[in-house]
């Protein structure tokens, strides 16, 4: 599944962004027996969009900045997804922030290194039940400058 996704991501990011909701992605998720599940879990969808976001940054050779999020948002619009990213000036007090405490995962700093490497997500063992895509949060720390909160929602 991973290689097929990266081929789709490569196709999306190899051209200029298309019109909003002009690309339809049908996501089938395999269970442990490699058979297709009839209902895809939101956590799987979140991870797919997170992989796509990181792939887009790497493919377009962009740094994780608010300005570059706007560029990627145009690509995500084509599949009907809104990127919601918040940059907070780094302070250890942010580790007590409810967004951090209830995060789905932390994105390992090596995830943005090169196009061929797969992103690494460090899962939060204290996850809470989430019923909406927008409730899933990934965090990424940019050195000691920013703590970034990443979410997605349907447009």
What are the residue boundaries of the structural domains of the chain, listed by start? Answer: 2-154
In contact, 98 and 88? CB cutoff 8 Å: no
Give the per-residue pLDDT at 36: 46
pLDDT of residue 116: 81
The residue length of the chain stands at 155
Helices 66-77 and 42-59: crossing angle in degrees, nearest 10, is 120
Give me the residues of the chain with pLDDT under 70, please.
Answer: 1-2, 28-40
Any idea what DSSP says for residue 115?
T
Give the per-residue pLDDT at 28: 64
- The C-alpha R_g of the chain, in whole angstroms, comes to 15
Q: In what order do the strands lie in the sheet with 138-142?
A: 81-89, 146-154, 138-142, 105-107, 121-123
- Rounded Cα distance between 124 and 95, Å, is 13
> What is residue 128's predicted lDDT score, i.e. its pLDDT?
77
pLDDT, tens digit, 9 for 90 and up, residues 50-92? 999 999 999 999 999 999 999 999 999 999 999 999 999 999 9
- What is the per-residue pLDDT for 153? 96
pLDDT at res. 127: 77
């Amino acid at each position: 599944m991973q290689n097929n996704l990266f081929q789709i991501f490569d196709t999306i990011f190899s051209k200029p962004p298309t019109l909003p909701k002009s690309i339809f992605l049908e996501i089938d998720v395999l269970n442990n027996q490699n058979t297709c599940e009839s209902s895809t879990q939101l956590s799987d969808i979140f991870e797919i969009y997170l992989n796509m976001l990181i792939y887009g940054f790497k493919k377009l050779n962009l740094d994780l900045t608010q300005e570059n999020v706007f560029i990627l948002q145009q690509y995500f619009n084509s599949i009907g997804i809104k990127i919601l990213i918040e940059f907070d000036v780094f302070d250890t007090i942010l580790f007590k922030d409810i967004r951090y405490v209830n995060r789905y995962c932390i994105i390992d700093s090596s995830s943005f290194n090169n196009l061929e490497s797969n992103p690494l997500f460090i899962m939060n063992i204290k996850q809470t039940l989430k019923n909406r895509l927008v409730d899933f949060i990934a965090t990424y720390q940019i050195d000691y400058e920013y703590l970034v909160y990443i979410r997605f929602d349907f447009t």
